[in-house]
Structure 1
Amino acid sequence: MNRLAKYEAHDGENKTEIVFGTPKTKNSRRTIPLTRTMVDELTRWKQQQAQDKIRAGDKYTDDDFIVTNEFGHYIEQKTFKDYYDRMLKDADIGHFTFHALRHTFATRALERGMDYKTLSAILGHYSVAFTMDTYVHSMDEHKRREMDKMDDMFGMRYSISVENRPYPVLCTLSPDGCTAHVPDFPKVTAQAPTLDASLLEVKQQIEKALRQYKNPPIPTKQEQIVVPNNSVLVLVKAS
């Protein structure tokens, strides 16, 4: 479902329209197993829709959509995003794109031992290699945290100093501004109107994160980071 510009729009008419079509790739049409918790949530939601249908009566439209309003009508992406942004604001947990939920799922799945091939199929990626390239940095951070737990057993000290070493920052540019995140600190992210502003905010977050680490992560090498077409890689040194 997409809202696209009309080829012919008369004066006074909406210049865009909702268009339904097939998914853009073969992998987009796939079966995704659900967790028991999600099945329960969807069951409760279906019961809510049944109540909405009774209350709305003849005004209810049942087109088999899952994400609907109280009249059974689909909710388009922009409206759904507005709801999502409002929930983030009410929860006071900062700004994250809706796509970040997908990344969170993938990272947690790998941390819990899901293999790359299975995860790649669930995500609909065109290759397992793409999945590995996309999420290997998140796994590196997880492996560092897990290895820290071994210090007491082996009496090891973290001998590699990260002082004065810059951390790579991926900055994604868009008409709304710049979104920056740090592969070595998955929770560090910032969005600002300009590149400079987002980098300044990220720098402050890195400094704060370093104060909380007993053993700070070693900065990932530049050549190990895949930079998307609409992004730039910037090195940021904490003071």
Structure 2
Amino acid sequence: MTINGTLYRRKGEGLKYKPKTKTDSSDNRVIPIPDAIVEVLRKEKALQDKTREKLGNSYNSENFVFINDKGKPIDPDYLTRKFRETVKTLNVKQINLHGLRHTAATLLMKLGVHVKIVSDILGHSRVQVTLDYYSHSNEEMMRQSTNELEQHILS
């Protein structure tokens, strides 16, 4: 997956696309995604291509992934609202959409993924930003590591 810009709302003008992200290190980064997600995205793209054949080239002319039935990008505020509504129906900790980013980063670190890799995925400008922001994960990982060291020494 390539991150190459930001979709945002400008008051009085509607949705706008900016071919730049928040930081230079976030721009045009490639993030590997699981094969199962690639397959879902390929199927969605095939459906969109069929619809474009019927409705013309103006349908999703910007080639966004998440679009409405008219081929226009989904409003991020709408997506946030729908996510919040969905989470409320589930028996899970209530988080916001952006919280998924933090959950993924924390889980990657707990799985032992090197912090540099996690930092690259997140698009942080420096590894230290990741370390500072996810220090709670580091403390838990250090505790687990010292327990593992203890088990190794005593066995």
TM tier, smaller: 0.7 to 0.9
For structure 2, which runs of at least 5 residues remain unmatched after alignment? 1-6
Cα deviation 1:173-207 (Å, max 9, x = unaligned): xxxxxxxxxxxxxxxxxxxxxxxxxxxxxxxxxxx
For structure 1, which runs of at least 5 residues remain unmatched after alignment? 6-14, 155-239
SS at match of 1:72: coil
Select the structure with the greater relative contact order (CA < 8 A; seq sep ≥ 6). Answer: 2
Per-residue deviation, 1:47: 3.1
> 2:15 aligned with 1:18, yes or no?
yes
- 1:7-46 matches, within 5 Å, as 15-21=12-18, 22-29=20-27, 30-46=29-45
Taking the aligned partners of 2:49 and 2:75, their CA distance within structure 1 comes to 21
Query: Is residue 110–residue 116 contact of structure 1 (8 Å, CA) maintained in 2?
Result: yes
Taking the aligned partners of 2:33 and 2:94, their CA distance within structure 1 comes to 26
In structure 1, the partner of 2:3 is none
Which residue identity is paired with 1:126? S
Among residues 59, 62, 65, which one is paired with 1:61 in the alignment? Answer: 59
Q: Which structure carries more strand by proportion?
A: 1
In structure 2, the partner of 1:79 is 78
CA separation of 1:59 and 1:118: change in aligned 2, threshold 3 A? closer
- 1:127-142 matches, within 5 Å, as 127-142=126-141
In structure 2, the partner of 1:93 is 92
Taking the aligned partners of 2:109 and 2:93, their CA distance within structure 1 comes to 24
Which residue identity is paired with 1:25? T
CA separation of 1:51 and 1:82: change in aligned 2, threshold 3 A? farther
Taking the aligned partners of 2:128 and 2:44, their CA distance within structure 1 comes to 36
SS at match of 2:25: helix
In structure 1, the partner of 2:4 is none
Length-normalised TM-score, structure 2: 0.76
Cα deviation 1:2-24 (Å, max 9, x = unaligned): 1122xxxxxxxxx3432222223
Query: Is residue 67–residue 73 contact of structure 2 (8 Å, CA) maintained in 1?
Result: yes
Which residue identity is paired with 2:60? D
Query: Is residue 131–residue 138 contact of structure 2 (8 Å, CA) maintained in 1?
Result: no
Higher CA-based Rg: 1
- 1:147-226 matches, within 5 Å, as 147=147
Length-normalised TM-score, structure 1: 0.52
Which residue identity is paired with 1:67? F
Taking the aligned partners of 2:36 and 2:139, their CA distance within structure 1 comes to 29
Q: Across the two proteins, how many residue pairs are aligned to each other?
A: 144
Moved more, 137-146 or 113-122: 137-146
Per-residue deviation, 1:138: 1.5
Query: Is residue 60–residue 73 contact of structure 2 (8 Å, CA) maintained in 1?
Result: no
Taking the aligned partners of 1:94 and 1:39, their CA distance within structure 2 comes to 27
Cα deviation 1:118-159 (Å, max 9, x = unaligned): 2111111111111111112113224445738x77x95xxxxx
Identity %: 27
CA separation of 1:24 and 1:140: change in aligned 2, threshold 3 A? closer
CA separation of 1:85 and 1:111: change in aligned 2, threshold 3 A? same
